[in-house]
Amino acid sequence: MSLQSLLSIQGVSRSFGQTQALQNVSVDFSEGVNGILGPNGAGKTTLFRVLTGVLQPSSGDVFWQGKEIKDRRWKQAFQRQVGYLPQDPGWFEGFTVKQLCHYFAGLRQVPRGVRAQRIEHAIDSVGLSEQAGTSLKALSGGQRRRAFIAQTLIHDPSILVLDEPTSGLDPVQRVQIRELVATLGRERVVLLSTHLVEDIAQTARNIVILDSGRLVWAGAPEELSRLGGHRGNANDSVTTAYERGFLAMLEETSNV
């Protein structure tokens, strides 16, 4: 664990019956956007559930500010600092954007004096001010995803965990979410999972590649680009090089 890392996991494994969803994964996360790349079934969602305290790891530990979050009080303090967007957040369809934020502000005990201001700020941050009174049912997929991101911001967390926020969105909506994540990553630790390299190519400070529950590679985006053999000309975009690097890593793992 490096001294700069705010959040890290050490030797985390998690199994569901015979299925090993995570196998001895150790990785550090620091401020800025941390991209978790991996194909479907790589263990990204399980990793996020372990990180947010939804699931207990079968073995290994999660550390926040250098201290294990097994300790209940510390876990509570940690969870107060986390904003989590699961892949499918579920049953809030009857809520408007504002009601959703208000509900979570109440649950998280955002002080009443600043609650209205925080809600307004969160909705504004995700660019949904004009849709604040709109029911979630009536929003597009991208807008709904942004509404749930607003919910994660309501208590001004220092860690944001976003599980495939771009999944199922059209290209325009994906660009909007990417830009939003880049903005959010300027002030906090953002963990973003995706199976698309382009989602994190431009914004991530660190990239972690998972496959079949194992950590395949972790490092800076430039390193991944180098691994992909970036040729530095106009016909060979950085994203393409990232993708080649990503695929090379997956191929290497499967050969092993």
Partner 1 sequence: MSKLLPWGGLVASLGACLAMLLPVDDGTQNSFLCSLAVMLHAAIVIFPLLAGVASIDATFMNRGRSRFLLEALPSSARLRAASGRVGWISLAGCAGILLACVVAGTLAVSNGSRFSWGVWPFLLLACVGIVSATCIGWAIGAIAKSWFIPPLIIIVTYGGAAANISYVQLPSAALSALWTPTPALLHFPLPLIGWTLGLHVLLALVGVTGWLVWCQLTKQRILLLVTALFLTIGCAASMVNGWLGISGAVVANDTSDWICAPLASGAQVCLPPERPQDLPDLVIQLESVNTRALQLDPGLASRTWRGIDSPAGTSLVYELPLGQSPTLSQHAGAAAASLFIGCVLDALDKEDEDLLDMYAEAQVIVATWLDPEANGKFIDIEGNVYFITFADAQDAYRKSIQC
Among 1, 107, 138, 220, binds partner 1 (CB under 8 A): 107
**1 makes contact with partner 1 (CB under 8 A):** no
**205 makes contact with partner 1 (CB under 8 A):** no
Residue 103 CA to residue 154 CA, distance in Å, equals 10
Among 15, 24, 65, 79, binds partner 1 (CB under 8 A): 79
Please, which residue, 84 or 242, has the CB nearer to partner 1? 84
Among 1, 54, 172, 247, binds partner 1 (CB under 8 A): 54
Contact segment (CB under 8 A) with partner 1 among 24-32, 72-80, 212-220, 243-251 equals 72-80
Q: How many CB atoms are located within 10 Å of the residue 235 CB?
A: 6
Please report, as residue ranges, which positions from 172 to 201 form the binding site for partner 1 (by CB under 8 A). Answer: none
Q: How many CB atoms are located within 10 Å of the residue 36 CB?
A: 30
* CA atoms lying within 13 Å on the CB side of residue 256: 11
Among 1, 68, 88, 124, binds partner 1 (CB under 8 A): 88
Please report, as residue ranges, which positions from 139 to 168 form the binding site for partner 1 (by CB under 8 A). Answer: 161
**80 makes contact with partner 1 (CB under 8 A):** yes
Among 63, 64, 84, 242, binds partner 1 (CB under 8 A): 84
Contact segment (CB under 8 A) with partner 1 among 15-23, 82-90, 175-183, 231-239 equals 82-90
Which residues bind to partner 1, rule: CB under 8 A? Answer: 49, 52-54, 72-73, 76, 79-80, 82, 84-86, 88-92, 94, 106-109, 161
